[in-house]
Structure 1
Amino acid sequence: MRVLVTTAPLHGHFFPMVPLAWALRSAGHDVLVAAPANFVDDIAGAGLPAVPSAGPIGFADFMFHDRDGTPLTPPADPAARRAGSGRAWGRLAARTLDGVREIVGNWRPDLLVCEPTEYAGQLAAATAGIAWVEHWWGLAVQPEYRPFAQRELEPELQRLGLRDLPEPALRIDVSPPSVQRPGVPDAQRMRYVPFNGPALLPPWASQPRHRPRICVTLGSMLPKHGLLDFGGMLRDFAAGLTGLGADVVIAVDDQVAAGWTDLPDGVRAAGWLPLNLVLPACDLVVHHGGPGSVFTALALGVPQLALPQTADQFENADRMVATGAGLRLLPAERGTTTVVAACEQLLADPLFGKNAAVVAEEIATAPTPAEVVGVLERLAVPLRPDEERL
């Protein structure tokens, strides 16, 4: 079986699909991953074959600019921002659609696996008569995205002779039921296997420690594209947290940390570090509420403090807090003093760790990616009445 995986050029969208892609290859299937040219090195770094679906397309190119390159001002209203994001994902698909269709025509896959906001693969599959699977990256994608992406893609839909964006043959849900929002479409459950990028395990992460260790990160996007000084926030949070008698590790792109010369003792600016390698050596993680951070911490049973800033980060944080595995601070509450106080509470109360361990066990009971491969292999074969999903 040949499986084409399609993704936006974003780590948070692609990394959750990597374990299933590995499982497909281990089962003997051919896998190819398509994304804009600026992201193919990241795909290859994950050990997967890559093919460019278009030239380089940066996040700001489609998220903050219209089709003609006109800059857009993000609206202040959250609902309007979600609608705007939906249209942005549609603009990305419009730029990659012809390339994905050409890949499908030349490589002739038997199945496509697409992350929820990668609409070019979905359209290419529909026009080629190939089944496609929607692979969620955590919580089910925000429902406003799809209708507004469809509005943006009206010219492409008309050109392809389609009335609507196509529905998948299967959805894959990597969120445990206790975290997933209620009322989502039926989906095949699959274990969330943390993968946050290739790296070497730093020596300190496997050595004994005698003090609490806190990891502080705001992901890969906010420090680069956020409107606030998120790099400065990371530095200030880390310096304040040393007052708890803790060692602090800042996981941030090297370019962001390059200008930091005043870090106090006990703070390590560790560069870009995959959380799945670092968090087992930490007692707590402070992050921005991105799905990769939230679900990696949940899968590893590490308590967390979420500082959501935009998009789905607020819902990710709220669903995590509902499990009792951590706390969250809204933007108006976020400051060094409140962050330190919340971390002190998380370190002092063992209930947060116990609740995080319960969610980790729930995640571990879901079918593995290797088991879900069998479901994908049967997609073209109708289920008998007595058959059920795993």
Structure 2
Amino acid sequence: MRVLIGTGPLCGHFFPLVPLAWALRAAGHEVRIAAPADFAPTVTAAGLPVAPTAGELPFGRFMFHDRTGARIPPPPDTATRTERLVHSGHGWGRLAAATLPGTLALIDDWRPDLVVSEATEYAGQLAAAARGLPSVRVDWLSPMPEYRIGARTELAPELAELGLGGELPRPTRTLTLRPDPAQDATALRYVPYTGRAVQPDWALGPRTRPRVCLTLGSMLPTIGRLDFPGRLAGLMDALTGEGLEVVVAVDEAVARRWDPLPPGVRAAGWLPLELVAPACDVVISHAGMGSTLTTAVHGVPQLVLPQTADQFANAEWLVAQDAGQRLLPGESGTDDVVRAVRDLLDEPVWAKSATALAERIAAQATPAAVVPLLEQLVG
């Protein structure tokens, strides 16, 4: 069968789909990844064929500008978390509006049998419904219903034009990366993929002191109003001052600011978390879905510092598993972080709970095991 997989142009949205795409190909099916043209190098680097559905669509264009290109003011400081997520949902709706014509044309020309979309890729979901094709939505740890509210409002003209009514179409089947899925979803085991991955030599050898991995993902340190590079530097100094070894997984452009590396920092730069996390005793992250689940797969206790979007929901989920701690903005000062890391290292219950979570994830259906379920949707 032919499977069209749609993704937003962000690594954190695309990378969780890569193992499923390869499982489909390994089972003999044809796969195309639908994404804006400027994201094509990331897709092809994963060894997958891409079918561009639009030209360049950088994140800042669709998330921070309206359809005319005018800058959209951010939500006021008094906005609730739900209001902020709905606001972002409009951005994902604008992305869908820009890629929808190309997605419809691709479906008409290539004629896939099945359309798979990650949670915020709405163009594929609309196009599949409009063409009467079975569809699959791959949810993250949270299905992000707030995003759907904003996207639905933003896409009202497209929904009407396609004759789909006033609601976003429901998928034929929902997969979720959450190991404790809702009743209407099927669990898909999260298999880490982090792009280019070269095994660091130090990650294979014994460590003489506790090692902490510090990462805020691929986006936060390079965009936004807050000084994330400065925050990382402060945390590095505090953690190494406690006698801990630190590795920092961050964009290379940010890492170059710390040349030479401070004493006690083993490495900094683009480090594949799937290879680094098993060599660490604690991982500190922003609670991004990829960072949270990759660390969970390897049974490593976590300290999460959510900043935006789905990160708060991810952090709540992690805390509910007793596999880590959460510090919210306003309570995550440097001293707070150091105290939390010390507790994660000193109290065995955290490592025990993290190991139990890894075992639950490992028990879920792999991408290869899910392929037959998708085949059944086509008949």
- Within 5 A, what are the aligned runs for 1:1-390? 1-75=1-75, 76=77, 77=79, 78-137=81-140, 139-163=141-165, 164-177=167-180, 184=182, 186-261=184-259, 263-381=261-379
2:258 counterpart SS class:
coil
The one-letter amino acid paired with 2:100 is L
Q: Is the 8 A contact 2:142 2:314 kept in 1?
A: no
Question: Greater shift after overlay, 192-201 or 303-312?
Answer: 192-201
Question: Greater shift after overlay, 90-99 or 219-228?
Answer: 219-228
TM-score, normalising length: structure 1: 0.93
Q: Which residue of 2 aligns with 1:385?
A: none
Distance 1:211 1:105 in 2: 58
Distance 2:302 2:311 in 1: 13
Q: Deviations over 1:180-220 (max 9, x none)?
A: 6xxx4611112111112222112111122211111000001
Q: Is the 8 A contact 1:244 1:344 kept in 2?
A: no
| Alpha-carbon distance, 1:365 to partner | 0.8
Question: Greater shift after overlay, 66-75 or 211-220?
Answer: 66-75
Distance 1:97 1:268 in 2: 45
Q: Is the 8 A contact 1:216 1:248 kept in 2?
A: yes
| Alpha-carbon distance, 1:260 to partner | 2.1
Distance 2:41 2:266 in 1: 27
The one-letter amino acid paired with 1:74 is P
Q: Cα distance 1:8–1:185, how it changes in 2: closer, same or farther (>3 A)? A: farther
Could you list the runs of 4 or more consecutive aligned residues of structure 1 that deviate by over 3 angstroms after TM superposition? none
Q: Is the 8 A contact 2:299 2:357 kept in 1?
A: yes
2:283 counterpart SS class:
strand
| Alpha-carbon distance, 1:268 to partner | 3.5
| Alpha-carbon distance, 1:79 to partner | 2.0
Stretches of structure 1 lacking an aligned partner (at least 5 in a row): 382-390
Distance 1:171 1:116 in 2: 10
Distance 2:158 2:301 in 1: 45
Work out the number of aligned pairs and report it: 375
Distance 1:351 1:71 in 2: 48
Distance 2:272 2:38 in 1: 20
2:330 counterpart SS class:
helix
RMSD: 1.3
Distance 1:13 1:214 in 2: 26
Distance 2:22 2:339 in 1: 41
Distance 2:238 2:40 in 1: 38
The one-letter amino acid paired with 1:334 is S
Distance 2:178 2:295 in 1: 12
Question: Greater shift after overlay, 185-194 or 297-306?
Answer: 185-194
Distance 1:185 1:102 in 2: 34
| Alpha-carbon distance, 1:305 to partner | 0.4
Distance 1:140 1:253 in 2: 26
Q: Is the 8 A contact 1:288 1:309 kept in 2?
A: yes
1:259 counterpart SS class:
helix
Q: Is the 8 A contact 1:122 1:132 kept in 2?
A: yes
2:378 counterpart SS class:
coil
Distance 1:308 1:102 in 2: 39
Q: Deviations over 1:121-161 (max 9, x none)?
A: 11111122111100113x23221211221111111122222
Q: Is the 8 A contact 1:36 1:96 kept in 2?
A: yes
Distance 1:335 1:87 in 2: 32
Question: Greater shift after overlay, 298-307 or 193-202?
Answer: 193-202
| Alpha-carbon distance, 1:269 to partner | 4.2
The one-letter amino acid paired with 2:84 is R
- Percentage identity across aligned positions? 55
Q: Deviations over 1:259-307 (max 9, x none)?
A: 2246421113421122111101111100001111111111110100000
Q: Is the 8 A contact 2:86 2:147 kept in 1?
A: yes
The one-letter amino acid paired with 1:302 is V
Distance 2:255 2:268 in 1: 9
